[in-house]
Amino acid sequence: MMKLTTMVRGVREDAVARELIRNWEFDEGTLKFWRASSNFVYVFERDGERYFLRFNYEEESKVEQMTAELEFMRYLVKNGYPCVTPVSSIDGNWIETVQAPEGHYHGVVFSTAAGIALDGNLTVTQCKDWGKSLARLHTLSSQYEPGSVRRRSAEDILRMIDQVLQRHPEEQDAVEELHRVSLWLQFMPSSRQTYGLIHYDFQLDNIFYEAKERSYHVIDFDDAMYHWFAMDIVTALADTESEDEKRAFLRGYRSIRSLDHELEAEFSRFRRFDRLYGFARVLRSLEDSDLTDVPPWYEGLRMKLLRYCENDRQGFRKPW
């Protein structure tokens, strides 16, 4: 989640998007705002085909991390994994940068995902295929050798959380949770079979089902990090309440790739990592957010994020 102050600036009159899109070929009059959360996303057309422009402020997204993300995605595409394809600019660059009064914005363009979005109530077959898709991703990840730039790791995330909490010393429950999670991860065994570059947000809003191929087309690798593969399973299933769907997902996953029962026993602690990470991101996004002269949507979103933080605080107090 980006800072709310960044969100207000970045969508103002669509100025940044209109400046960035000039670096790619596009059909005039087709650029439209899509959404803003961790990034700004706009949709546009070129020769009648739909594409997506994604960008963010330099404080939110570093060029090095974006480069590592795109390299991994191109590796997946090269090896036949169904994910969206980065599109180079007119000058042949994967990433383009524009200057705004407050600083630089970095943008990339992606193709449109094939398949259809699934809103829930998946069939057993769809759940198994979901698990298989993630297992195939992990198999390719376990063989991946990054270039000169690596995506961040779980340890990097813990350091980021610590930096946020140092600015909020009143969040003592979160500080204690960070200590517990950090200590736990220090003693987690890792190998190429269990640890690698994960998607981290393999949920239904980031995957599109192709029934004929019985596969999912994947988008949004912006949260990718080095972590235990089990973490990807936990975050994928975070919004799934149905135990039948979870069991079908795991059956599909295990049909492609083994999953250590000892790691499965740690799922609840991986969920605590996810909650702590989410809390720190939202807490950071709320910093200096008590603004005036804001868009109509602003205060509702701010109050929603404040409620998220309070729910997480209660979760930190649960027995480890």
Q: pLDDT for 236-260, tens place per residue?
A: 999 888 999 999 999 999 999 999 8
**Verdict on whether the full-model pTM lies above 0.85:** yes
- Which pLDDT tens digit goes with each residue over 33-89? 999 988 999 999 999 999 999 999 998 989 999 999 999 999 999 999 999 999 999
Q: Which residues contact 177 (CB under 8 A, 6 or more apart)?
A: 272, 276, 316
What CA–CA distances, in Å, run from 97 to 57, 63, 65, 94, 256?
Answer: 10, 9, 14, 10, 40
Tell me how far apart the alpha carbons of residues 36 and 8 are, in angstroms, rounded to a whole number.
10
- Does residue 205 have a pLDDT over 90? yes
- Does residue 276 have a pLDDT over 90? yes
| Residue with the two structure tokens 């701010």 | 302
Tell me how far apart the alpha carbons of residues 96 and 90 are, in angstroms, rounded to a whole number.
10
H/E element, 164 = helix 154-166
- Does residue 293 have a pLDDT over 90? no
Report the mean per-residue pLDDT for the chain.
95
Tell me how far apart the alpha carbons of residues 278 and 1 are, in angstroms, rounded to a whole number.
8
Question: CB 227: neighbour CB atoms within 10 A?
Answer: 25
**pLDDT > 90 fraction of the chain, expressed in percent and rounded:** 88
- Which pLDDT tens digit goes with each residue over 123-176? 999 999 999 999 999 999 999 999 888 999 999 999 999 999 999 999 999 999
Is residue 212 packed enough to be buried (19+ CB in 10 Å), middle (13-18) or exposed (0-12)?
exposed
Tell me how far apart the alpha carbons of residues 142 and 156 are, in angstroms, rounded to a whole number.
20
